[in-house]
Structure 1
């Protein structure tokens, strides 16, 4: 019995960035989405983000939208004198099935989005570095430039 099957492309690079092994199309464009959150978070930490591990976990991972997760994102924002109005992620319902049921008929909000923790971390990193928070997602923003390095 097969429990699950995964399809995709695999590329292994050496420390110089040379392709040493690949399966599938190594040149295929991809949308890495949440899989690069740890890389983004590493850059934020290098840029001065120093927060409790439980809050850093919200920056690194997708969350289900539980009350505890939303409270953690609010706490992270408040620690840097921000609120959820600063978030530029999309409006969404909680990701978790149980959390969505508990949400009921409430409208989608940004802080319920599964990546609101990452966005809160990005905003906090901007505050730490004195960078503008109103356009932190733009490719030419200092935060995005630092993450790409």
Structure 2
């Protein structure tokens, strides 16, 4: 009996979270997080692609082409499209500096705050790894506008 109650609670909590995200969303990302480009989310998973810039050292911009997957979880608030936490993995291809023509991988965690209608701000932390460079960890602020249905 105890197992049935626990299973029922887990199922209802999982259903409540799953129902809080809109089914589809397209985001136009205007700054670093996840990249300057487009993102499409279906339920809890999104794909993104674009141009990614970061500064590993002051006044030195490193540029990448970036594509990846994001998982959205723990929605916050009662909006149609709630704020939430996210975790992401991505493939990066370096365009300049120490990463020119090199492949890299990244992992990221953060929070997306839905400010007003589709306008949202993101703040995360990314770890970028490649075979020829040391592991780099950087903050990843972002601003986007999202359309959902």
TM-score (norm 1): 0.25
Q: Which has the higher helix share?
A: 1
